[in-house]
Amino acid sequence: MMNKDVGETLVATKDLTKKFGDQYSVDHVNLEIKRGQIFGFLGPNGAGKTTSIRMLLGLMKPTEGEVRLFGQTFHKNRIDILRRVGALVEAPSYYRNLTGFENLKLSSKILGSSNARIEEVLGIVRLSEVSHQPVKQYSLGMKQRLGIALALLGSPELLILDEPTNGLDPSGIHEIRQLIKRMPEDFGITVLISSHNLAEIEMIASHVGIIQSGKLKFHGTMEELKRDQKPRVEIKVNNLMGAKDLLRQQDVQARIVEDMLLVDQPTDTVSAINRKLVSNGFEVFHLVESVKSLEEIFLDLTGKEGAI
């Protein structure tokens, strides 16, 4: 199952745009997700993740642009597409008067899943023991897991999960992350997961799309995200202002942050910078070439107001 057309594009959007009034909620977004990926859709709250996902699932019509899932459009192949997709959008859906099993059972009427499959997905999300309790007695984490079970029920090729760990306690978060990581290998399922949590995406995603104010700021693999960033140089010297002036005369732009001098775009090697400072009588007692952490990259891309 896993090797079926690896590299086939499952999700493609072209200039996907949604406007509410004058406000762009999603602004010309081009996404491409291939079979076998775990695609992390990352962005601060309100960046346009859920709106994008709603358009991907045909729940909402784009103002402009196009969505293709499995190379097909909703306009013509809505049912064919949805048969191959499992989704959990925002909060989990359920009928509170029914048990967990019954909630899955009613979906199985449409999906054609067997009782054995229902038991299987209940097992995957570890709800087997409580499957005959009414959902209104479930904790938030259990409801969330039921939502994932519903999404998995029809054996989808593509799983779309919108903030699936929202509101869960740490052990619940850990459990759902472990579950999602298994999807491509164990079940042959390609995953699109949205999150505002960088650490989460870093832990589970193979590919990432970063969205901010409706615009896609980055799209690629985790490695590419890190590789694109040049290292910067941190310097501690006895006279910060003097050192900054000296470097500027030598065409090296530096800025003072607290007790350090930072060179963001070093044109010289570290040793060359060091030599310039030392030969001009400065005492250099700290000199480090540092690579930005993912968090810093993320903040640079999304702006500080996007900090979580």
Partner 1 sequence: MTLGRVLMMEMMKLKRSYVWLLMCVAPLLMVTFGAYNFVRYQDVFLQGNAVPWEKLLGQIVTFYGLLLLPLSIAVMAVWLARIEHSENNWKYLFTMPVNLKSIYITKTIIHIGLVGLSMVILYIGTIGAAIIVGVGNIPYGTTAVNVLICWITCLPILALQMILSIKFPNIGIPIGISLAASITSVVITNSAYGKYYFWSHPSLTLIPNSEGMRNLTIPYSLTISLVAFSCIMVIGYRFFRKHEA
- Contact criterion met (CB below 8 Å) for 244 and 196: no
- The smaller minimum CB distance to partner 1, of residues 191 and 273, is found at 191
- The smaller minimum CB distance to partner 1, of residues 58 and 141, is found at 58
Alpha-carbon distances of 5 from 78, 116, 238, 240, 301, rounded to whole Å = 22, 28, 61, 58, 33
- The smaller minimum CB distance to partner 1, of residues 8 and 80, is found at 80
- The smaller minimum CB distance to partner 1, of residues 131 and 302, is found at 131
Q: How far is the CB of 103 from partner 1 (least distance, A)?
A: 9
Q: How far is the CB of 277 from partner 1 (least distance, A)?
A: 60
Q: How far is the CB of 9 from partner 1 (least distance, A)?
A: 20
User: Of 99, 80, 83, 110, whose CA–CA distance to 138 is shortest?
Assistant: 99
Contact positions vs partner 1 (CB under 8 A): 54, 57-61, 79-80, 82-83, 85, 87, 89-98, 102, 105-107, 109-111, 134, 150, 154
- The smaller minimum CB distance to partner 1, of residues 110 and 308, is found at 110
In three-state secondary structure terms, 6 is coil
- Contact criterion met (CB below 8 Å) for 40 and 19: no
230: phi then psi, degrees, rounded to nearest 5: -75, 150
Q: How far is the CB of 104 from partner 1 (least distance, A)?
A: 11
- Contact criterion met (CB below 8 Å) for 39 and 192: yes
3-state helix, strand and coil shares in percent for the chain, rounded to the nearest 5: 40, 25, 35
Q: How far is the CB of 83 from partner 1 (least distance, A)?
A: 4
